[in-house]
Amino acid sequence: MKLSRWLPWAVLAALLTLAWLAKTVTIPLIAAWILMTILLPLRTKLSPRIGKTGATLTCISLVFLTPLLLIGPVIFDLNDFKALLPGPASVDHYQHQFEGALRTLELSLPQPLASQVSQLNSSQLVEPLAGRLASFAADVLHFLGGVFGFLTALILLPVFLFFLLQGAPWLPQIRAEVPPAWQGPFDRIFPRVRELLAEYCRARFLVALAKGAVAGIILFLAGVPAAYTVGLVIGVASLLPVVGPMIGFCFLLLVAFPHQGPSGLWLAIFIYASTEILEGYVLLPRLVGRRLGIDDFAVILAVLIGGAAFGIFGMLLAIPALVIGRVFYQELLKPVLSQT
């Protein structure tokens, strides 16, 4: 009796261990599964018109053409964007701009704050911000197993997505292979997990798109060069919950403050505050509401723990993992604990 009670947990632990060891394969598989859950309603609508395979290929094309369409306009302001960033040949010039902006800010502040700003120098601000932003690319490559793992993930993602969409819906097929004693918990847990994850990921993408667009429009109206590209970077950073907006704010501060002085600082603060208000009070309540049932403190704690344990991907997967963990706790662990 005790063995049958703990056997599902042992199987789950073994599967999670195997998934971590084979993360070069499982990461694109998980990403493809999430994309499949988001795209499945569209594929279901298109299938009667253009066939199952045609609908699948249309969905895959939509997934990979959308980023290309978003990245395309970057070509037109790439030179302006490069000019905003500190390059190896312009570090001295960039630091000189930053020092000038700090001195201008010092003159515009009251004396107590001005004395604190006077103690700062460009290296104290530029190097930590630039180093932290640059480390994210290295974290991604390291997590995926280097450049080879990254290229492998790019190749496997569309392949996995194609076969997952072609074979969907998967839950009835998986349920048919589950032992009869496990079918009751399966029916309670996995459809709910799939629905919540699809809803959350869809909302996260829409929020990132909206925040990037708002930031780009504000930057354009403020006359900041490469406004579209900077807004795109802010939108992509917003895919990371909690920490992502802070990354976007640091990036905006890094490119705007040296060139525009105190006005660049206030602009960065205004964009950060307005986009966070838009997300927290307009977008997420409408897109998700309180259906996830997770406390805000639990979200922050999960993101911080995920980042400390697994870097950028830990932050990205923290809330989906928290959603899954909460469902498993309510359906499996809580009944067991209540009987003890």
Query: Across the chain, what does the average pLDDT equal?
Result: 76
**What pLDDT, in 10s, does the model give residues 312-329?**
667 777 777 787 888 877
What pLDDT is recorded for position 217? 93
- How far apart are alpha carbons 200 and 182 in whole angstroms? 27
The pTM of the full predicted model, rounded to 2 decimals, is 0.71
Select the highest-mean-pLDDT range: 173-177, 210-214, 256-260.
Answer: 210-214
Mean pLDDT across 110-116: 61
Cβ atoms of residues 218 and 271 within 8 Å: yes
pLDDT at 91 over 70: no
On the CB side of 136, CA atoms within 13 Å amount to 20
pLDDT at 290 over 60: no
What pLDDT is recorded for position 29? 83
**pLDDT range class, residue 56, cuts 50, 70, 90:** very high
pLDDT at 256 over 80: no
pLDDT at 109 over 70: no
pLDDT at 6 over 60: yes
Between residues 251 and 48, the one the model is more confident about: 48
Residue for token pair 């292979």: 177
What pLDDT is recorded for position 199? 80
**pLDDT range class, residue 57, cuts 50, 70, 90:** very high
**What pLDDT, in 10s, does the model give residues 115-162?**
655 555 555 555 555 555 556 556 655 655 655 566 666 788 888 889
Q: What percent of the chain has pLDDT over 70?
A: 68
pLDDT at 83 over 90: no
Mean pLDDT across 246-265: 77
**What pLDDT, in 10s, does the model give residues 300-313?**
777 778 777 766 66
**What pLDDT, in 10s, does the model give residues 194-236?**
888 888 888 888 888 999 999 999 988 988 888 898 899 899 8
